[in-house]
């Protein structure tokens, strides 16, 4: 998976993603990260990349030309490397106005070979740049940040851990929060007792089937508590087995 990021702050992206699991994935060549400075593509002699908004209003707007030229340079590099004349590459603009990013979207994007991201700054980007290069707009949540750099790092992190080989344990991305629309069960590690708080006995029993059943029930309980909307989807989409459905019905009727 090759990530290409158009940004005014490439060092932020490179530093932010070069440690820990992603750092190792980069070293092992499982993912690549190409943060490109949009400022390198301005023709302005003072290297300006923004200007006042037409019609007035607060703040500055990123200009169309450096963004389009930056995109074209990245796109031709991708097609040159792939030895292709034309190739469809998805270009994602990070914006609070986009569709909210989800685990499902991360899974789908992890199937791509190349992804191009566009980070805005200031008051945003000249609309024509969005019309000309962007294929989809994604938000990381209903709040406004100063730039698209943190959002793109969030997205790259979430997508990368779904790329085969990035996580050591192949199961760990599969059976965790949002799998089957459930939140993950509580986790414990040593010591067995900490300041009087004990690890649930079942987890020490070595009885794998019972542990699995306990964990699924805990997941259902947690999801009901914190995200009843998700639990509704789990039920609707048939993600719970017969026993779990009985448990869910009991919970709905107020028994625990």
* Residue of closest CB approach to ligand SAM: 120
**How far lies 233's CA from each of 142, 186, 214, in Å?**
22, 21, 21
> Could you tell me how many residues of this chain bind ligand SAM (CB under 6 A)?
20
Least distance (Å) between residue 25 CB and ligand SAM: 23
Q: Quick one: which segment of 34-42, 63-71, 79-87, 135-143 binds ligand SAM (CB under 6 A)? A: 135-143
Q: Among residue numbers 213 through 232, which ones bind ligand SAM (CB under 6 A)? A: none
Q: Is the peptide bond before 191 cis (omega within 30 degrees of 0)?
A: yes
Nearest distance, CB of residue 20 and ligand SAM, angstroms: 23
Under the binding rule (CB under 6 A), the answer on residue 120 touching ligand SAM is yes
Please say which residue, 105 or 167, places its beta carbon nearer to ligand SAM: 105
Residue 97 lies near ligand SAM (rule: CB under 6 A): yes
- C-beta closer to ligand SAM: residue 60 or 167: 60
Q: How far is the CB of 228 from ligand SAM (least distance, A)?
A: 24
Interface with ligand SAM (CB under 6 A): 94-97, 119-121, 123-125, 139-141, 143-148, 151
């Amino acid at each position: 998976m090759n990530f290409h990021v158009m940004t005014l702050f490439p060092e932020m992206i490179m530093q932010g993603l070069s440690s820990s699991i992603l750092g190792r994935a980069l070293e092992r060549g499982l993912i690549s990260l190409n943060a490109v400075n949009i400022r390198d593509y301005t023709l302005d002699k003072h290297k300006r990349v923004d200007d006042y908004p037409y019609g007035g209003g607060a703040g500055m707007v990123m200009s169309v030309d450096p963004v389009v030229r930056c995109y074209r340079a990245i796109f031709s590099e991708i097609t040159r490397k792939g030895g292709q004349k034309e190739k469809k590459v998805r270009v994602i603009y990070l914006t609070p106005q986009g569709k909210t990013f989800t685990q499902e979207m991360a899974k789908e994007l992890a199937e791509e070979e190349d992804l191009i991201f566009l980070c805005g700054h200031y008051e945003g980007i000249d609309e024509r740049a969005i019309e000309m290069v962007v294929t989809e707009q994604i938000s990381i949540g209903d709040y406004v940040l100063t730039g698209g750099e943190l959002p793109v790092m969030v997205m790259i992190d979430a997508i990368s851990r779904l790329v085969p080989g990035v996580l050591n344990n192949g199961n760990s991305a599969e059976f965790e929060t949002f799998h089957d629309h459930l939140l993950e069960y509580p986790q414990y590690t040593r010591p067995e007792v900490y300041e009087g708080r004990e690890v649930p006995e079942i987890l020490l029993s070595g009885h794998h089937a019972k542990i699995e059943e306990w964990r699924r029930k805990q997941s259902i309980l947690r999801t009901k508590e914190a995200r009843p909307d998700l639990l509704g989807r789990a039920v609707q989409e048939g993600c719970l087995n017969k026993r779990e459905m009985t448990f869910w019905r009991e919970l709905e009727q107020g028994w625990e």
